Amino acid sequence: NQSSQPPMSCDCFVSLPPGSRDDHVIFGKNSDRPRDEVQEVVHYPAASHPPGSMLECTYIQIPQVEQTNAVVLSKPAWMWGAEMGASDKGVCIGNEAVWTREPVAPGEALLGMDLVRLGLERGDSARAALTVITSLLEEHGQGGQCREAPEPFSYHNTFLLVDRSEAWVLETAGRLWVAQKVSEGVKNISNQLTIGSEISTEHPDLQSVAKAQGWWDGEGEFNFSHVFSPENPPARMELAKQRYRGGTELLQQHDGSVTAEVMMSILRDKPSGICMDSGGFCTTGSMVSILPRDTALPCIHFFTATPDPSRSVFKPFIFSDCPTPVPRVVSPQFGPDDPARKQPRFQSQVDRRHDLYKAHQVALNTMETNPDEGLAVYNILRDLESQCLSEIAAMLSGEIPGEELGDLFFDCVDTEIKFYQ
């Protein structure tokens, strides 16, 4: 029964000049996950680590590096890794679930979400983060339970890696991988393989494995998506095709005029299925980033920290030397007793909701029971979002100084909770 199978489906987008209206790279992602899963937004400062230290990822330990970048992550609260995020080096990464002819290996390894976080913490550019992810993939493999439940569910991953100058699409099948550089214009990925024969770099054994498996005869041009897409793709990959086409159409409608606002409107689009709400699954967190080409200007990363972007507000985060902590979007910690960490895993449920998530849930209920009142509050918040976007536009065009915006994320979360109350 495919309908009870999670359509664990995400959509990632990027616009590079001349696709963007301004001299900015714009990144966006909707994270579509189990409906009740809580996504938190957490900032981790840059850190030095003693040589030889080990790092505890979601399921396995790997050697830590000596220096990690500051990162801001939108992450399912139960795991170590992240669905999407950014580093203080101006790199953004999001991942997507895919299924390929290469079977998903049983057992615990690195989650695709762990690889997102590791790429951000260790890579100073999109290209460097790609090398980080592919090296870790070859060394440790990918796999492990991808949702907070005992029923087995795991997948391979594709990634969109973006910085101020370029984007990379990285698609994987087990430990094998292929990547494509995107230097200009607009590009989106959904839950399917999109790289054909325009390959910029690949795993050295990719083509020989394809030949040895009898998936490719070695004749003519090697086309990754033709060779590695499964013969009977899961229904969710077929549904992703429609969303991929819808996303491509929406991006192309705005080609040459993409801004953060346009990206937010695409992520809020319900008819295309990009803003997802079907059965047990919905968009549980969203992110949009502005990466100005001019390195004198700061990058700005917007997060909802709540489900359903069409009923959520994007709040801007800017890296600064000592950002105000924002505990109201951070989930409670359960330490070694966390059901995600105890063996056997996921035998019980805990309440991972943070303050903003709870307040937003109440507001959504109000919208259902008292639509007028609910809508009034939401419209005020959307006005604040627009005001915020105008201030940021003014800062990026040099009209107001950026130093004043370091506490913006804290202020916006605080204001949103007050309004819901």
pLDDT of residue 398: 86
Catalytic residue among 10, 57, 275, 299: 10
Q: Is residue 370 one of the residues assigned to a domain?
A: no
Choose the weakest-confidence range: 168-182, 244-258, 349-363, 393-407.
393-407
User: Region 336-347: what's the mean pLDDT?
Assistant: 95
28 vs 243, which has greater pLDDT?
28
| Cα within 13 Å of Cα(302), Cβ side | 26
We report the CATH number of the domain holding residue 222 as: 3.60.60.10
6 pLDDT band (50/70/90 cuts)? very low
Among 157-166, 244-253, 272-281, 348-357, where is mean pLDDT lowest?
Answer: 272-281
Report CA torsion sign: 117, 275, 299, 249.
positive
Range 284-294 burial, b when 16+ CB lie within 10 A, else e: bbbbbbbbbee
Q: Is 63 left (phi over 0), alpha (psi -120 to 50) or beta?
A: beta
Please indicate, yes or no, if residue 307 is contained in any of the structural domains.
yes
89 within a domain of the structure (yes/no): yes
Please check whether residue 293 lies inside any domain of the structure: yes
Instruction: With 0.85 as the threshold, say if the pTM is over it.
Output: yes
In a domain, 31, yes or no: yes
As a whole number, mean pLDDT of residues 361-375 equals 91
Query: Is 277 domain-assigned?
Result: yes
> What is the predicted pLDDT for the residue at 400?
80
Distance CA 29, CA 415 (A): 24
Percentage of residues in the chain having pLDDT higher than 90:
85
**Cβ atoms of residues 66 and 119 within 8 Å:** no
Does residue 215 carry a pLDDT above 90?
yes
Token output for 324: 């105000």
Where does the pLDDT of residue 2 fall: very low under 50, low under 70, confident under 90, or very high at 90 and above? Answer: very low
Domain holding 47, by residue range, is 11-350
Per residue in 29-48, pLDDT (tens digit) is 999 999 999 999 999 999 99
Longest Cα–Cα distance of the chain, Å, equals 65
How many CB atoms sit inside 10 A of residue 252's CB? 13
- pLDDT on residue 416: 96
159 contacts: CB under 8 Å, gap ≥ 6: 93, 94, 95, 96, 112, 115, 116, 119, 130, 133, 168, 169, 170, 171, 172
**pLDDT > 70: what percent of the chain?**
97
| pLDDT of 192 over the 60 cut | yes
Q: What is the pLDDT of residue 20?
A: 98
Res 266: pLDDT: 97
Mean pLDDT score of the chain, rounded to an integer?
94
Do the domain assignments include residue 362?
Answer: no
- Per-residue pLDDT at 357 exceeds 90: yes
Q: Is the pLDDT of residue 231 over 50?
A: yes
Closest CA to 160 of 68, 98, 227: 98
Catalytic (active site) residue 10 = yes
> Is residue 110 a part of any domain in this protein?
yes
**pLDDT 10s digits, 371-411:** 998 889 899 999 999 999 999 999 999 888 776 677 899 99
Number of domains in the chain: 1
